[in-house]
Amino acid sequence: MKSIIVGTAGHIDHGKSALVRALTGTDPDRLKEEKARGITIDLGFAHTTIDGLDVAFVDVPGHERFVKNMLAGVGGIDLVVLVVAADESVMPQTREHFDICRLLQVPAGLVALTKSDLVDAETIELVRLEVRELTAGSFLDGAPIVPVSAKTGDGLDAFRRALAGVSARVSGRPVDGVTRLPIDRVFSMKGFGTVVTGTLVSGRVRTDAELAIAPGEQRVKVRGVQVHGVSRPEAVAGQRTAVNLGGIEVDAIQRGQTLVGPGTFVETRLADAILDVLTGAKPLRHGARVRFHQGTAELLGRVSLVGPLDASAGMPAVAAGSRAFVRLRLERPTVLARGDRYILRAYSPAITIAGGVILDPQPPRGAIRTSAALERARRLAFDPEASGRVESDTRAAAVMIEDAGAAGFPVSALSSRAGLAPGAVDACVDALVKAGSAARVGDVLVTRAIFDELKRAVVAALGEHHRAQPLSEGIPRDELHDRVFARGHADVFDRALAALVEAGAIVSRDRIALATHRVALSPEDEQARQLIERIFRDAGLKPPDAGTLAAETRATAATIDRVLKLLQRQKVLVRIDTLLFHDEALKQLKAELTALKASAGNAARIDVATFKERFGVSRKFAIPLLEYLDRERVTRRMGDSRVLL
Ligand SMILES: Nc1nc2c(ncn2[C@@H]2O[C@H](COP(=O)(O)OP(=O)(O)OP(=O)(O)O)[C@@H](O)[C@H]2O)c(=O)[nH]1
Ligand SMILES: [Mg+2]
């Protein structure tokens, strides 16, 4: 069965709740105080079936003091019933609620002229004209306007037909999107515990699922799901949903938080957006403090204008009836997605002044009063020429990948930040790669330019290093990373090196070097190298100390030092504690011990004295060598002697 969520809207006392009750048999005013005062204070809910259509009503208060509650209700609706009492016609909250619906881009709706029993036919026609005037050019232009009386029941059937007609044109919500349920009520139910309700705006909520309450990322477990008071294995996008949660107390959740898939949203206090200021409002100043409403959340924040400052124009502001790119700075975190509609109300008095759509829920910090920032915002905007959301979002993703720079843009952020449905992510990545705007490296995207520049930087750094230190084989990988890509993503760096190796431009062993690089020794250094190597080779297990080396080579300390380092990098010499041994001497030592073991069998043991005698070395060399052999697992120390392994 197709289900649809219908919100009411309209001035106080115009008969919204009475109409919902007449249509569903349920009084949406559930609070004691509401019944006592005869007004709606908070959201009310009721449902019915009309023409095989599952209709859930969200009834809102008309009182100007409770517009914030109204805003928490209209966020997820598919269709609005604008309620206008025939005996009062259009009133202030008729306009304000209608403005809110327009700014939120509620997709469809119709008008109920209530209390038709109180007026004559002529008055009905007058009110109809006033409604037409109000809605001209809006989403309600041409929508059905149906006179009804909740008291006599007149017009209710015609209203149901009109509602079914409008509903038929409303398309469903993204069931396969990420799970997102803005919470509008939290309560505790005896025998169940914590229950939250809301309109599931995308995705699914399944019994036993692990979800999270955001902001805060508190993990919760779904114990049960109800849709219209009936238990279901799961609820899907577009349904009014009640969720019984395990692992959390009622006090830990508030209206305005959102039930989400764990890790699918990143909390934010910053968003770039398009802003439309209402025609009747005062100009919205740069830096103005406002009330930001999105989903069921209300947050305080400030609005900054994006774009270069026009010095002659005085204090920048967005004029009534105009549009601008803005950065919203919220005082507390919330979860937002690209494409979310929002409302701004003045801080005081709290009246609706503007609204718009989120373009980037996690923009980079930095200057926004520049032409570059304005250009960036333009590229993020939803392009009316684009063939659809995916194309627009892909263009926005390209901007966000540029923002990310060397750090890389996680593929997962294509959903959480760029607003793509999970099913569209692969197509988006393909499009970006094909267009040459991005390179994919594992789970991150970087711009082609960063990747190419990184390769150039690696080659340049190596060239410079080889010129400065011709004796060095190259730069260790970590050092090269820190030098050319310090804040860059390690995977991107590895991929760039791999690409350069593949292209034959560099070699990557212990150190990274240009493929053309050969360690170049000056004739003196080369002479010293040959001599020093021979001295160590001849010395075997009794290597020379510094004094002997200096005397025998007659080279300067600096030359000896350079050559010793080179020989160690080349693994010709091996350092053991403070001593250096020729690699061949150590290899031969190991080979002899292996031979000894072969001849002596399992009983093969050696102690320090035997070792000294057998290899003709003093204790000074014997101890470090034996410990080296232990580390190399050629021997194992047992008491005073060693077992040959
Ligand atoms: N005669 C007549 N009275 C009606 C009709 N519909 C509602 N009323 C009366 O109008 C008053 C207000 O009705 P509600 O349905 O509470 O109005 P509301 O729009 O829900 O008011 P708020 O939620 O406070 O904004 C009540 O006393 C109703 O009995 C109608 O069709 N005919
Ligand atoms: Mg009411």
Residues 6+ apart with CB under 8 A from 587: none
**Residues 299-309: pLDDT tens digits?**
999 999 999 87
Cα 42 to ligand 1 centroid, rounded to whole Å:
16
Ramachandran area for residue 284 (φ above 0: left; ψ -120 to 50: alpha; else beta): beta
Distance CA 596, CA 127 (A): 111
Atom 5, ligand 1: which residue's CA is nearest? 115
**Ligand nearest 66 Cα, by number?**
1
Cα 281 to ligand 2 centroid, rounded to whole Å:
27
Cα 8 to ligand 2 centroid, rounded to whole Å:
9
**Ligand nearest 83 Cα, by number?**
1
Atom 29, ligand 1: which residue's CA is nearest? 18
Among 41, 64, 151, 154, which residue has the most ligand 1 atoms within 8 Å of its CB, making it the best to mutate?
Answer: 151
Ramachandran area for residue 295 (φ above 0: left; ψ -120 to 50: alpha; else beta): left
0.85 surpassed by pTM: no
Q: What is the 3-state secondary structure (H, E, C) of 263-320?
A: CCCCCEEEEEEEEEECCCCCCEECCCEEEEEECCEEEEEEEEECCCCCHHHCCCEECC
Cα 14 to ligand 1 centroid, rounded to whole Å:
5
Instruction: Tell me which DSSP letter residue 102 carries.
Output: H
User: Letter for the amino acid at 620?
Assistant: K
Please identify, by atom number, the ligand 1 atom nearest to the C-alpha of residue 39. 24
pLDDT at 523: 82
**Ligand nearest 11 Cα, by number?**
1
Atom 6, ligand 1: which residue's CA is nearest? 15
Neighbours of 122 (CB within 10 A): 8
User: Could you tell me the sign of the dihedral formed by the alpha carbons of 388, 393, 396, 398, in that order?
Assistant: negative
What residues in the chain have per-residue pLDDT under 50?
none
pLDDT at 576: 94
Atom 12, ligand 1: which residue's CA is nearest? 13
Distance CA 161, CA 259 (A): 35
Cα 195 to ligand 1 centroid, rounded to whole Å:
30
Cα 74 to ligand 1 centroid, rounded to whole Å:
20
Among 43, 115, 152, which residue has the most ligand 1 atoms within 8 Å of its CB, making it the best to mutate?
Answer: 115
pLDDT at 470: 82
Contact 579, 612 (CB under 8 A): no
**Ligand nearest 14 Cα, by number?**
1
Ligand 1 — pocket residues by CB below 6 A? 12-18, 38-40, 61-63, 114-115, 117-118, 149-151
- Output the six-digit token pair for 505: 């431009």
Cα 77 to ligand 1 centroid, rounded to whole Å:
22
pLDDT at 473: 85
